């Protein structure tokens, strides 16, 4: 079954700790994305990557970092510099090179920082 | 730049009644438009999309939407609501030929009353 996997489903961390969220896809998609979702605010783009070894900042990149060393994987690190990291994080992928601009989403990771 | 406005953060309908969720967009170039559905603590699922061609688009679960360029709208409808339609719905826009970034509205939570 093709799809996007995010792990873990729930993650708890103490303030001041960096934490890495996993995102893996087996759809052979070129582009991958990270969004943050807060109640009543919709989805906000953190980072995106259109090809391996390249990525761009989205609208709220401060306090986050990413890497794209493999086509299938796009991990997101939430650093201690992120002022309010508690949120629901969603990973997505798409295949724009084939004229398919819709994004497919993973199940999400809910991060709680106390 | 693109933007999306979803009128009504909460919509309540009776089972069997018409569902109408409103989406207006702003785009300086022809848009691609999408509707997604999200159930609690899950990722987003694509309901339908408009790229080019027919302006009335049919999606999954009996939903459809009509692209009206003159009104810059892409409202989502379903003739008869079912209890399983209770969820949050997001409208999104992407500029044709532009970057692959999707811009999302803030979402509309649909409640279906028995």
Residue B97's pLDDT band, with cuts at 50, 70 and 90, is: confident
- CB-CB contact of A96 with A104 (8 Å): no
- CB-CB contact of B48 with B34 (8 Å): yes
> What's the gap in Å between the CA of A92 and the closest CA on chain B?
9
Sign of torsion over alpha carbons B46, B50, B53, B55: positive
> What's the gap in Å between the CA of B71 and the closest CA on chain A?
23
B/e letters for B52-76, b = 16+ CB within 10 Å, e = fewer, are eeeeebebeeebbbebeeeeebbbb
Given this model, what pLDDT does residue A6 score?
Answer: 97
* Average confidence score pLDDT of chain B: 94
Chain A CB contacts of B51 under 8 Å are 99, 101
Given this model, what pLDDT does residue A1 score?
Answer: 64
Mean pLDDT along residues A54-66:
96
Q: Is A107–B43 a contact, with Cβ atoms under 8 angstroms apart?
A: yes
* Average confidence score pLDDT of chain A: 93
Given this model, what pLDDT does residue A35 score?
Answer: 97
pLDDT(B57) > 80: yes
Q: Rounded to 5 degrees, what are φ and ψ at A97? A: -65, -20
Mean pLDDT along residues A66-93:
96
> What's the gap in Å between the CA of A14 and the closest CA on chain B?
22
Q: Is B46–A104 a contact, with Cβ atoms under 8 angstroms apart?
A: yes
pLDDT(B51) > 80: yes
Chain A CB contacts of B102 under 8 Å are 45, 103
Concatenate the DSSP letters of all residues of A24-57 into one string: EE-S--SEEEEEEE-TTS-EEEEEEEEETTEEEE
Given this model, what pLDDT does residue A19 score?
Answer: 95
Out of A23-37, A45-59, A86-100, pick the least confident: A86-100
Q: B89 to chain A: nearest residue by CA?
A: A42
pLDDT(B98) > 80: no
Q: Which residue, among B2, B5, B1, has the nearest Cα to B74 in the 3D structure?
A: B5
Task: State which of A94-98, B26-30, B35-39 shows the largest mean pLDDT.
Answer: B35-39
Q: Is B101–A90 a contact, with Cβ atoms under 8 angstroms apart?
A: no
């Amino acid at each position: 079954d093709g799809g996007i996997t995010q792990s873990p489903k729930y993650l708890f961390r103490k303030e001041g700790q960096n934490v890495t969220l996993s995102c893996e896809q087996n759809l052979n998609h070129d582009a991958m994305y990270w969004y943050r979702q807060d109640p009543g605010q919709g989805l906000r783009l953190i980072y995106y990557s259109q090809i391996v070894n390249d990525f761009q900042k989205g609208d709220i990149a401060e306090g986050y970092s990413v890497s794209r060393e493999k086509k299938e994987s796009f991990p997101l690190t939430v650093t201690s510099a992120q002022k309010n990291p508690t949120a629901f994080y969603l990973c997505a992928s798409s295949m724009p090179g084939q004229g398919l601009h819709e994004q497919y989403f993973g199940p999400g990771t809910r991060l709680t920082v106390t | 730049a693109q933007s999306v406005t979803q009128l009504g953060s909460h919509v309540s309908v009776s089972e069997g009644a018409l569902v109408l969720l409103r989406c207006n967009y702003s785009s300086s170039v022809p848009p691609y438009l999408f509707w997604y559905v999200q159930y609690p603590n899950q990722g987003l699922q694509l309901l339908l999309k408009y790229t080019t061609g027919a302006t009335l688009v049919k999606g999954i679960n009996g939903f459809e939407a009509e692209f009206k360029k003159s009104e810059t709208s892409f409202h989502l409808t379903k003739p008869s609501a079912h209890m399983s339609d209770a969820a949050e719905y997001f409208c999104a826009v992407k500029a044709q030929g532009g970057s692959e970034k999707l811009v999302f509205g803030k979402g509309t939570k649909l409640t279906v009353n028995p």
